[in-house]
């Protein structure tokens, strides 16, 4: 998965999980099912049939009915698959109160995990068990960590939450204070030469350790004092690694503890890396707009038009767009209308069209055919024409600007269209 696609996938998963986390059952009646890729659908169906039988012992009539209804729905969904998809399958289903007690409605959610799931799990609880999917929101890229001062250096890698110390070296550089009788200039010159040799060795070890990592996301440099900055000023690191330095961090130590100190702040750094990516993307867009090159556009209608023409290179979407794309159809003629509106306006529209005649044939048979997140709808259009999609947070000044000044929908274009 390219990083370009992953901002969209992460956003979707995050959004789905937030919604699922907010749902609560009346009792212990919400079903969570995780099926790993190596399972047979028929085995899972057998297991669900057993659970259906077991559920007949539940004393409360309502709970028993709700659990059994949920199991039936899950089984039906499962049977739509000939085999388990390559990353496995997760289904959540249960009776969710819509508007106080007695208003429960069975809701079903099928989630395709972004990576293979390992766990095989059936749970019936008052909430949905989303924790095994939450893991996929954790950053999985590898980061290099180098801490150094004039006494030595430690090289480590961080993948997800796993930290590996790769190597430690000592500098062999004497302390700053010369012994008596030595000429000060000579001492300084010798010390400088030794530091230079040491920096060369640090560079060689860093290049050897970090260059061979596929998809190294970035490099974090740490250490006490100004040695790390001196090291960075020279040409000791391979230029591709130099470009990947995301942050230099002050730490108290230069050993494993120093690496841990640097990593402790990695959450901030990771966020900052995405910040920088986001800033760059939006600045590219703002640059095209201010130079009036015609290679950038914004606003839902213009962006949609360009998406349909296939002229979009990168689609930029603010993650908090809360609009949906609603399709209204007439069952008596071929009238179809699509419009964009805030999600909370949909019930009002449904009310409205039930009182109104079709503008084309005059028969009052209009209904809402489909309600789709605007972000998903635009992302699908992008996907059809091979455009990249970037879902951007409002956490940067640029992200705020995209939202406030450009309606949260913009595009970088391949050509003027
Ligand atoms: Zn009609």
Place of tokens 């605007």: 374
Which pLDDT score is estimated for 4? Answer: 43
Global pTM exceeds 0.85: no
Q: Which fold is adopted by the domain 142-272?
A: Nucleotidyltransferase; domain 5 (3.30.420)
CATH of the domain spanning 6-137: 3.30.960.10
Distance between Cα 369 and ligand 1 center (Å): 14
Is the CA virtual torsion 299, 300, 302, 307 positive or negative?
positive
Distance between Cα 147 and ligand 1 center (Å): 70
Per-10-residue mean pLDDT of the chain, 417 residues long, equals 60 89 91 96 96 94 94 95 93 90 88 89 95 79 91 90 88 78 82 94 96 88 93 94 89 92 75 76 93 95 96 94 94 95 92 92 94 93 91 83 93 92
Contact assessment for residue 157 and residue 142, using Cβ atoms and an 8 Å cutoff: yes
Distance between Cα 336 and ligand 1 center (Å): 9
DSSP annotation of 30: E
Distance between Cα 363 and ligand 1 center (Å): 6
Which pLDDT score is estimated for 405? Answer: 92
Distance between Cα 97 and ligand 1 center (Å): 35
Looking at beta carbons, which pairs linking 172-179 to residues 24 or more positions away fall under 8 Å? 172/198, 173/198
Which pLDDT score is estimated for 3? Answer: 44
Distance between Cα 301 and ligand 1 center (Å): 25
- CA gap 229, 213 in Å, rounded: 24
Partners of 143 in the β-ladder: 158, 218
**DSSP letters spanning 339-373:** EEEEGGGHHHHHHHHHTS--TTT--S-EEEEEEEE
Distance between Cα 376 and ligand 1 center (Å): 28
Distance between Cα 332 and ligand 1 center (Å): 5
Distance between Cα 366 and ligand 1 center (Å): 7
The SS3 call for residue 29 is coil
Distance between Cα 331 and ligand 1 center (Å): 6
Is the CA virtual torsion 179, 181, 183, 186 positive or negative?
negative
CB-count exposure of residue 373 (10 Å: 0-12, 13-18, 19+): middle
Residues with CB under 5 A from ligand 1 (ion): 330, 332-333, 335, 358, 360-361
Two structure tokens written together for 15? 């959004």
Partners of 221 in the β-ladder: 146, 248
- CA gap 39, 33 in Å, rounded: 12
pLDDT, tens digit, 9 for 90 and up, residues 301-348: 999 999 999 999 999 999 888 899 999 999 999 999 999 999 899 999
Q: Which helix (H) or strand (E) holds 156?
A: strand 152-159
Distance between Cα 348 and ligand 1 center (Å): 20
Q: Which helix (H) or strand (E) holds 314?
A: strand 312-318
Contact assessment for residue 163 and residue 264, using Cβ atoms and an 8 Å cutoff: no
Residue 15 has φ and ψ, to the nearest 5°, of -65, -45
Distance between Cα 354 and ligand 1 center (Å): 13
Distance between Cα 349 and ligand 1 center (Å): 17
Distance between Cα 357 and ligand 1 center (Å): 8
Two structure tokens written together for 69? 């209804």
Contact assessment for residue 78 and residue 64, using Cβ atoms and an 8 Å cutoff: no
pLDDT, tens digit, 9 for 90 and up, residues 63-84: 999 999 999 999 999 999 999 9
| Domain assignments of the chain as residue spans, ordered by start | 6-137, 142-272
Place of tokens 């085995």: 43
Contact assessment for residue 337 and residue 356, using Cβ atoms and an 8 Å cutoff: no
Distance between Cα 242 and ligand 1 center (Å): 64
The SS3 call for residue 306 is helix
Distance between Cα 325 and ligand 1 center (Å): 20
Distance between Cα 403 and ligand 1 center (Å): 37
- CA gap 244, 2 in Å, rounded: 17
Distance between Cα 144 and ligand 1 center (Å): 62
Distance between Cα 362 and ligand 1 center (Å): 6
Residue 357 has φ and ψ, to the nearest 5°, of -85, 155
């Amino acid at each position: 998965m390219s990083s370009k696609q992953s901002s969209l996938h992460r956003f979707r998963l995050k959004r789905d999980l937030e919604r699922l986390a907010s749902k609560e059952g009346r009792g212990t009646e919400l079903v969570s099912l995780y099926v790993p890729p190596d399972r047979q659908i028929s085995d899972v169906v057998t297991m669900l049939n057993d659970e259906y039988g077991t559920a007949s012992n539940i004393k409360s009539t309502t709970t028993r009915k709700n659990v059994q209804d949920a199991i039936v729905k899950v089984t039906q969904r499962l049977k739509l698959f000939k085999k388990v998809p390559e990353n496995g399958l997760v289904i959540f289903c249960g009776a969710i109160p819509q508007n106080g007690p007695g208003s429960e409605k069975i809701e079903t959610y099928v989630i395709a995990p972004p990576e293979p799931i390992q766990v095989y799990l059936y749970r019936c609880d008052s909430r949905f068990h989303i924790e095994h999917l939450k893991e996929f929101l954790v950053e999985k890229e590898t980061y290099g960590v180098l801490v150094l001062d004039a006494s030595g250096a430690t090289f480590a890698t961080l993948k997800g939450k796993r930290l590996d110390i790769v190597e430690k070296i000592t500098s062999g550089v004497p302390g700053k204070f010369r012994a008596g009788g030595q000429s000060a200039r000579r001492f300084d010159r010798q010390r400088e030469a030794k530091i230079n040799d040491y920096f060369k060795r640090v560079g060689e070890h860093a290049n050897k350790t970090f260059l061979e990592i596929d998809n190294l996301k970035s490099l974090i440099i740490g250490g006490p004092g100004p040695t790390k900055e001196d090291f960075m000023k020279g040409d000791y690191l391979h230029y591709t690694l130099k470009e990947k330095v995301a942050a230099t961090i002050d730490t108290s130590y230069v050993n494993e503890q120093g690496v841990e100190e640097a990593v402790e702040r990695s959450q901030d750094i990771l966020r900052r890396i995405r910040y920088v990516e986001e800033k760059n993307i939006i600045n590219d867009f703002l640059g095209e707009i201010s130079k009036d090159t015609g290679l950038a556009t914004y606003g839902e209608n213009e962006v949609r038009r360009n998406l349909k023409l296939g002229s979009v290179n990168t689609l930029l979407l603010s993650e908090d767009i809360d609009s949906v794309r609603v399709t209204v159809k007439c069952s008596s003629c071929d009238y179809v209308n699509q419009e964009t509106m805030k999600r909370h306006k949909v019930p009002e529209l449904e009310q409205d069209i039930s009182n109104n005649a079709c503008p084309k044939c005059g028969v009052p048979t209009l209904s809402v055919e489909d309600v789709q997140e605007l972000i998903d709808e635009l992302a699908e259009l992008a996907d059809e024409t091979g455009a990249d999609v970037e879902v951007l947070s409002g956490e940067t000044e640029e992200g705020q600007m995209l939202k406030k000044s450009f309606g949260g929908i913009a595009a970088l274009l391949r050509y003027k269209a």
